Amino acid sequence: MNPKVLLIYTGGTIGMAQNPKTGSLYPFDFNQLLDTLPSLRKLNVDIGAYSFDEIIDSSDMNPHYWLNIAQVIESHYQDYDGFVVLHGTDTMSYTASALSFMFGNLSKPILLTGSQLPIGVLRSDGKDNLINSIEIAAHKENGRSLVPEVCICFENSLYRGNRTTKLNAENFNAFYSGNHPPLAEVGIHVKYNRHAILPLPTEQQLKVYSQLDDRVGILKIHPGLSQPLVENILQTKHLQGLVLETYGSGNAPSAQWLKEALSYATRQGMIILNVTQCKAGGVEMGKYAASLELLEAGVTSGLDMTTESAICKMMVLLGTYPSDKEQVKTLLQTPLCGEMTIMNNE
The catalytic residue positions are 13
Rounded to a whole number of angstroms, the minimum distance from the CB of residue 210 to ligand ASP is 24
Write phi, then psi, for 324 (nearest 5 degrees). -135, 80
Residue 111, amino acid: L
| Closer of 55 and 292 to ligand ASP (Cβ) | 55
Rounded to a whole number of angstroms, the minimum distance from the CB of residue 173 to ligand ASP is 13
| Closer of 3 and 114 to ligand ASP (Cβ) | 114
Selected range binding ligand ASP among 83-91, 252-260, 302-310, 338-346, rule: CB under 6 A: 83-91
Residue 327: which of 264, 262, 271 has the closest Cα? Answer: 271
C-alpha angle 35-39-41 in degrees, rounded to nearest 5: 75
Residue 234 CA neighbour count, 13 Å, CB half: 25
Q: Cα–Cα distance between 283 and 302 in angstroms, integer?
A: 7
Beta carbons of 250 and 285 less than 8 angstroms apart = yes
Rounded to a whole number of angstroms, the minimum distance from the CB of residue 316 to ligand ASP is 22
Rounded to a whole number of angstroms, the minimum distance from the CB of residue 18 to ligand ASP is 16
Q: How many CB atoms lie within 10 A of CB 143?
A: 6
Residue 246: which of 272, 228, 212 has the closest Cα? Answer: 272
Q: Which of 3, 63, 88, 338 forms a contact with ligand ASP (CB under 6 A)?
A: 88
Q: Cα–Cα distance between 264 and 239 in angstroms, integer?
A: 13
Selected range binding ligand ASP among 5-13, 191-199, 208-216, 298-306, rule: CB under 6 A: 5-13
Does residue 90 touch ligand ASP according to CB under 6 A? yes
Rounded to a whole number of angstroms, the minimum distance from the CB of residue 89 to ligand ASP is 3
Beta carbons of 55 and 69 less than 8 angstroms apart = no
Size of the site for ligand ASP (CB under 6 A): 11
| Closer of 116 and 301 to ligand ASP (Cβ) | 116
Give Cβ neighbours of residue 78 (< 8 Å, ≥ 6 apart): none
| Closer of 30 and 321 to ligand ASP (Cβ) | 30
**Contact string 47-66 vs ligand ASP (x = CB under 6 A):** ----------xxx-------
Q: How many CB atoms lie within 10 A of CB 264?
A: 15
Rounded to a whole number of angstroms, the minimum distance from the CB of residue 51 to ligand ASP is 15
| Closer of 132 and 300 to ligand ASP (Cβ) | 132
| Residue showing the smallest CB distance to ligand ASP in the complex | 88
**Contact string 103-142 vs ligand ASP (x = CB under 6 A):** -----------x-x--------------------------
Q: How many CB atoms lie within 10 A of CB 280?
A: 12
Compute the chain's Rg from CA coordinates. 21
| Closer of 120 and 250 to ligand ASP (Cβ) | 120
Rounded to a whole number of angstroms, the minimum distance from the CB of residue 128 to ligand ASP is 15
| Closer of 89 and 300 to ligand ASP (Cβ) | 89
Residue 12, amino acid: G
Residue 60, amino acid: D
Beta carbons of 70 and 210 less than 8 angstroms apart = yes
**Residues in touch with ligand ASP (CB under 6 A):** 11-13, 57-59, 88-90, 114, 116
